[in-house]
Chain A
C-alpha cells in the first residue's frame, strides 16, 4: 500500500518493545514496520495503549529504564542504530533526530530561562560562546514567531502560555537542524485555536527546512490535515497504512473503519458514529482496547478479533435511532431552566461568569462551548446548585432555586431533578465505594430507598441502561476501565430520573471510540427519559451533533447563541468563526 521511497530516512523493521512490569513482561509494540522519507510527514494514529508513543520513544531510545527494544531493526539514514551506544545516540539526539512532547510546560526546565535552554540545545552539538548561543536562540525564537522575542529570551516557562512553551520547544528541537522531527501529541491539552497555530507553524517549518516529521496523535482530523501518509496503530501493531484521503474515505481494516466512523466530522450524526449500533443487540460495539481489561494484550495478536470486554456491550433492544439526533422539542414546550443575568465573582475581583442568560426547554439539549477559562465549568456548577451565584437568578420549572443557598440545596425536593456527569470519570467516583454503592448512593439519599431487593433491582436497571454489565457492580473504580467508569457516573446521574442532566465535558478524558459509544448512550437516555441536557464541551463537532441550540462563551460571557445548525453554518461573531475554523475535519484538505 505504501509507496516506499528509494532511500528512506528512517526505516523501522519488525520492531518489538517489551516492558518489565510487576506482572511480568508486557509487549507494548509487537512487530511494527514503517519508513519515513526525507522531508515527508508521516502520521501515526492510535488510541491510548496502541503503542504509538512507545514506538517513538523506542526510535530515539528514550524509553523508561523498564522498557527495551526486544526485537527488530531501526535504520536511520542508512545506518543501523538499533544497538547504538549512548555516545552515538547523544550525537544523533537533537542534531539528527529531535522530539517534541505533549505538555509543553512540563517539558521545559522550570528554573532556567527559555534563552538558556535553547542555547543549551545548540551548545550540545556546536562549540560556540555563550553570547553566540544567545544570539542564535533569539533567531530561533523569531523563527517560531514568538511575539517580543527579545523579552522572552529571559523569561521562565511559567511566564509563557502553553502555546508559547510549545513554540519554545519547537525552537529547541530545530536548533541544530535535525533531519527528522518526532512530534508526540504536540497539541494535546492546548485550546483549539492555539492547536491550529502551533500545527501550522510546525508544518511550515518542516516544509521550509526540508525536515521529515512523524506526527503521533490520537486525533484523526489532525493527521488527515497535516500528513502525507498515515499509519494506524492498534494494540502494538500497524493495522493500516495509506494516504489520508483514501484512508478516511475507504478504510480497509475493521479497526480503522470503526475509528473513522467514531470520529465526529462536519456532517456526521450521532447515529453515524458507530454504524454497527443500528442493528439490534449487536455484540461488536466494543470500543477497544480501552474497554478491555487493562492487561488484555492478546497473545495471538489478531487485531480483528474482539477483546475480552466485548461481550459486555450487548445492547438492550434499542429504540430506532435513524432519525437525526438533534430533534427539536415540540413548540410550546414549557421552559425547564431559565438562567437570568448570572454573575459569579471570586475573591480578588476575578469574574468567572459575567451576566449570562439562557434557557432550556424540557427535553431540549443545549450546548455550551468555549475554550479553557471561558467559565463554562463554573456555569455547570452554578446550575447544579453546587456553588452560589454572586448575582442573577436561576429558575427551574418556574421556581427560583437560587434563593436556597447551595449549602442547603441537598434538602430541596428539586435536588433529584438536577444531576450532573463530570469530566474525569476517575475523579468522579469515590475510590472507597464500589460501582453498586456509587449508583445506589443518590437513591439512598434522595429517594430514601433502603437496602433490599428494590434497591438492588433499581441499581441493576440503571447500570443496564447505562450499558454497564451487572457483573461489574461489585468492582471498585480502580478495577474499571475509563469507559466503564464513565458509565458508572452516568448510571448514578440518571438513577433518580432527573429532568435536567448537566454534562461537564463528559467525554474529554476518553478515547474517540469510547466517546462514540458514550455519546450514543447519552442520546438514547435523553430520548427515553425526555431529559433536558446542558452539554458543556470544548469539542464543537460533538456539540453540533448532540445539541439543538448552542451557546458560545469567551472570558465568562456569552459571545453568541442560537440554533446549532444555523450557528455552525454561519457564525455571526469573529470569535465563533475562529473557533469553528480551528476545528479539524476528517477528509478535509491536506496542508501540504
Chain B
C-alpha cells in the first residue's frame, strides 16, 4: 500500500526531473530552427515562389526581427498552445499531420516490441536453463548476429524472400492494400479499428501488411533483449536465494518462475525501455523501406525537401514519447521491485 504511494511519489519526482531535459529539447529544436542553413522565414512562407514582401511579413509575424530571448519566449508560447507551424509539403498544420500519422508508427512499434519480447524472453530463458547446450549456442549466435544486421538490409531481404520469392506477403507498401476500404477512424490503430468495426477481412489484410515491417524491427531488438534475459536469468539461477529455494524442496516450476524468472525480468524491463527508444529511431529506416505512413517517414520526407517545421515537431514528439516511456518503465519497476522505494 505504502509501496504504491512511494511509487507514485517516485514517478512524480522522475517526471519533475525530466522537465529540465524536456526544456533542453525545446531549446535544442529552437536552435535547430535558427542554426539551419537559410532563413526560417523562407521555410514558413507559402512556397518557394513567395515574394520578398511576403517573406518580410512572415519575418515580422514570426518575430524574427526581435532579440533572441524574446524569440525563444514566443517560440515556447507557440509550443504551449500547440502551434508547431505548418508543413510546406502537405500544407497542413504540423500538429494535425503528426496526430493523423502517429498511430501508424505506434502500431508498428508496439507490435514489433511485442513480437520481440515474446521471442526474446523464452529464448533467453531456455538458453540460461540449458547453459552450454545447443540451444544456448544457437541463442548466443543469434544474439551476436542480430546486432550486426542493419534494419534496412534485413527489411529489404525479408521483402525479397517473402514477397518476391515466396509470394506470401502482400506488396510491401503502406498499411493496407488499395483494395481494402479503411474502417471508421476511432483510435487510428488499424488492427483495433478493424476489430471494432467487425471487419475481419480488413483486419487480416492490415495484419498481413504489418507483419513484415514489425518483424524487421523486432529482429533488430531481439538480440539485446535475449542477451539480457539470458544473462539476468543466469545470474538469478546462480543466486543465493534460488539455492535457498532449492534447499527447501520447492517444486522446480516454482523455483524457476517465481524465484528466478521474476527477478530476472527486472533488468529486462530496464532494457526494454531503452530498446523502445532505439525502435523509435529505427522507425525512420523501417518506415522508409516499407513506405509506412508514420511520423518518421513524414519527418524524413520533409527533411529531404528542406521543410523544417515537421522535423522540429517530430523531434519534440519523440522526446515527449521517450519521457512517457521512461516514466512507464519507472512505475512498472517500482511495482515490480520493492527495493527501489528505499533510496
Contact = CB atoms under 8 A, between A and B. Distances in A.
Interface of A: 60, 62, 65, 89-95, 98-99, 101, 103, 106-112, 120-121, 124-125, 156, 158, 169, 172-173, 175-176
Given A111-B339, A156-B339, A106 B241 contact: yes
Among B249, B252, B338, B339: residue with most chain A CB under 10 A: B249
B244 A101 contact: yes
Contacts of B244: 99, 101, 107-109, 169, 172
B338 A156 contact: yes
A295 to B, nearest CB: 23
B241 A108 contact: yes
B132 to A, nearest CB: 9
B262 A111 contact: yes
8 contacts: A91-B249, A93-B246, A101-B243, A106-B241, A107-B240, A109-B241, A112-B259, A125-B249
B262 A120 contact: no
B240 to A, nearest CB: 4
B291 interface: no
B249 A109 contact: no
B328 interface: no
Contacts of A173: 248
Contacts of A110: 241, 263, 337-339
B245 A62 contact: no
B248 A62 contact: no
B251 interface: yes
Nearest to B263: A111
Contacts of A124: 248-251, 254
A26 B337 CA distance: 39
B5 to A, nearest CB: 15
B180 interface: no
Given A106-B240, A109-B263, A111-B263, A99 B247 contact: yes
A41 to B, nearest CB: 19
A172 B250 CA distance: 12
Among A62, A103, A109: residue with most chain B CB under 10 A: A109
B339 A121 contact: no
B243 A172 contact: no
A161 to B, nearest CB: 14
Interface in B251-279: 251-252, 254, 258-259, 262-263, 266
A103 B259 CA distance: 18
Contact of B254 (A93, A106, A107, A120): A120
B239 interface: yes
Contacts of A60: 247
A109 B245 CA distance: 9
Contacts of B339: 110-111, 156, 158
B157 interface: no
A584 B339 CA distance: 35
Contacts of A108: 241, 244
Contacts of B262: 111-112
Contact of A93 (B248, B258, B337): B248
A107 B246 contact: no
A175 B244 CA distance: 13
Contacts of B248: 93-94, 98, 120-121, 124, 172-173, 175
Contacts of A121: 248, 250
Contacts of A156: 338-339
Nearest to B251: A124
B336 interface: yes
Given A62-B243, A124-B248, A158-B339, 10 more contacts: A60-B247, A62-B246, A62-B247, A65-B131, A108-B241, A110-B263, A112-B258, A120-B245, A120-B248, A124-B251
A94 B251 contact: no
A93 B252 CA distance: 12
B342 interface: yes
B219 to A, nearest CB: 31
Among B241, B243, B247: residue with most chain A CB under 10 A: B247
Nearest to A154: B1
Contacts of B336: 111
B322 to A, nearest CB: 27
Among A94, A110, A111, A112: residue with most chain B CB under 10 A: A111
A183 to B, nearest CB: 12
B215 to A, nearest CB: 33
Contacts of A175: 248
A103 B244 CA distance: 11
B250 A120 contact: yes
Nearest to B239: A106
Contacts of A91: 249
5 smallest CB-CB distances across A and B, nearest first, come from A93-B249, A94-B249, A94-B248, A106-B240, A99-B247
B81 to A, nearest CB: 41
Nearest to B337: A111
Contacts of A111: 262-263, 266, 336-339
Contacts of A169: 244
B243 A107 contact: yes
Interface in B329-343: 336-339, 342
Contacts of A158: 338-339, 342
Nearest to B236: A109
A115 B52 CA distance: 78
Nearest to A99: B247
Contacts of B249: 89-95, 124-125, 176
B232 to A, nearest CB: 13
A175 B249 CA distance: 12
A144 to B, nearest CB: 15
B223 to A, nearest CB: 26
Among A92, A95, A107: residue with most chain B CB under 10 A: A107
B247 A98 contact: yes
Interface in B208-250: 239-241, 243-250
A131 B259 CA distance: 21
Nearest to A64: B238
Given A60-B247, A121-B248, A103 B240 contact: yes
A176 B250 CA distance: 12
B162 to A, nearest CB: 41
Nearest to B131: A65
Contacts of A65: 131
A93 B247 contact: yes
A16 to B, nearest CB: 22
B247 to A, nearest CB: 4
A201 to B, nearest CB: 18
Contacts of B342: 158
A172 B337 CA distance: 22
Among B244, B254, B266, B337: residue with most chain A CB under 10 A: B244
Contact of B259 (A62, A98, A109): A109
B340 to A, nearest CB: 10
A518 to B, nearest CB: 30
Contacts of B250: 94, 120-121, 124
A109 to B, nearest CB: 4
A172 B243 CA distance: 13
A126 to B, nearest CB: 11
A291 to B, nearest CB: 29
B252 to A, nearest CB: 8
A120 B252 CA distance: 12
Nearest to B259: A109
Contacts of B337: 110-111
A173 B336 CA distance: 26
Nearest to B336: A111
Contacts of B239: 106
A199 B30 CA distance: 67
A51 B160 CA distance: 61
Contact of A94 (B131, B247, B266): B247
A92 B247 CA distance: 9
A181 to B, nearest CB: 11
Contacts of A101: 240, 243-244, 247
Contacts of A89: 249
A423 to B, nearest CB: 23
A92 B342 CA distance: 37
